[in-house]
Structure 1
Amino acid sequence: MAAILISIKKQYLDLIFDGLKTVEYRKVLPSKPVDRCFIYESRGSGKVVGYFMLSKTESCSPREAWDSTCDKGALSKTQFDCYYEGRSRSVIFFIDSCYRFDKPLELNELGISRPPQSFVYLSDADANSLESLPSFRVETERRCQST
């Protein structure tokens, strides 16, 4: 399984860490199976702030995505439709467990010069190194199963 670095706007990242958003919508399906998503917080700290483990990834039509996950994505139908406007496929990352780093990292600490547009693959060594950093698992009563 592969690990990727993705950019998520602070407003949505807060919802993920609060357990109110248990799926992450994307436009591009990684070509490799992914099990970990490391998170660059855009429009916020501008740092890599943590990661989440995935229970599964699914690609389907936007309509199917909305019908099956509208209660998990923390988006209005208008926001969802705007995001997928003109697209025939959607990608859904089903979030399992979330971890927030004790000390967020600058991108250059990973040898990355700018935030990813969609995502960038991380080497196994980099992902394992990041995963071993001091962090805490985000536990909330509101986190629901993402099946």
Structure 2
Amino acid sequence: MSIKPKYADLIFSGAKTVELRRVCPKLKPGDLVLVYASGPRMALIGKFEVKGILSGKKSAFYDEFGASSGISRAEFNSYFSGVATAHGIQIGRTWKLKPETSLNVLRRRFEGFHPPQSYRYLLEFEHASLTASQGNESTASTQGRLNA
């Protein structure tokens, strides 16, 4: 999943526990999401477990989840302009990848790799390849779908 670096850092610091989305993601609790920090960082930096999926009227969503989203009300209103329903991914456990995997390395490992505009699904071998050098600290059960 592509996320702006400042929001990705908030996820891994524990300050951001809800990732906002304009379209309801096809995820379920227990799925793993790989986090790609978009430009200027351009690197795979970690992953998180989906705790749950939230959906609700935009008018009330910020009041309930805004403090967990890492954005201001003005940013929220701008992001959700033109939609009636807001969606969020509740973030469970997180793992930082050490070292991060740069876009250049991803492209060398996976011919034709392009960072997702929003998110894409990974095959099991892709996940294994991306996290193989991470040791126990950054590995988790790969049951469920793997998402990037």
TM-score, with structure 2 as normaliser:
0.77
Aligned partner of 2:4 among 9, 31, 35: 9
Work out whether 1:63 is the aligned partner of 2:59: yes
Work out whether 1:41 is the aligned partner of 2:31: no
> 1:31-90: CA deviations, max 9, x gaps?
353611101111242111111111111222222321220111111100000000001222
Report the CA distance between 1:113 and its aligned residue.
2.6
Aligned partner of 1:101 among 89, 97, 104: 97
- Other structure's SS at 1:114 match: coil
The structure that is helix-richer by fraction is 2
Gaps of 5+ in 1: 1-5, 138-147
Gaps of 5+ in 2: 139-148
In structure 2, the residue matched to 1:113 is 113
CA distance in 2, matches of 1:99, 1:75: 22
Deviates more, 1:64-73 or 1:110-119: 110-119
CA distance in 1, matches of 2:77, 2:64: 15
Aligned partner of 1:18 among 1, 13, 16: 13
- Other structure's SS at 1:48 match: strand
Q: Kindly tell me: are residues 85 and 55 of structure 1, through their superposed partners in 2, closer, same or farther at Cα, counting changes over 3 Å? A: same
Deviates more, 1:46-55 or 1:127-136: 127-136
Q: Kindly tell me: are residues 17 and 44 of structure 1, through their superposed partners in 2, closer, same or farther at Cα, counting changes over 3 Å? A: farther
- Hey, which bits of structure 1, 4+ residues long, moved more than 6 A? none
In structure 2, the residue matched to 1:77 is 73
Give the aligned CA root-mean-square deviation in angstroms.
Answer: 2.1
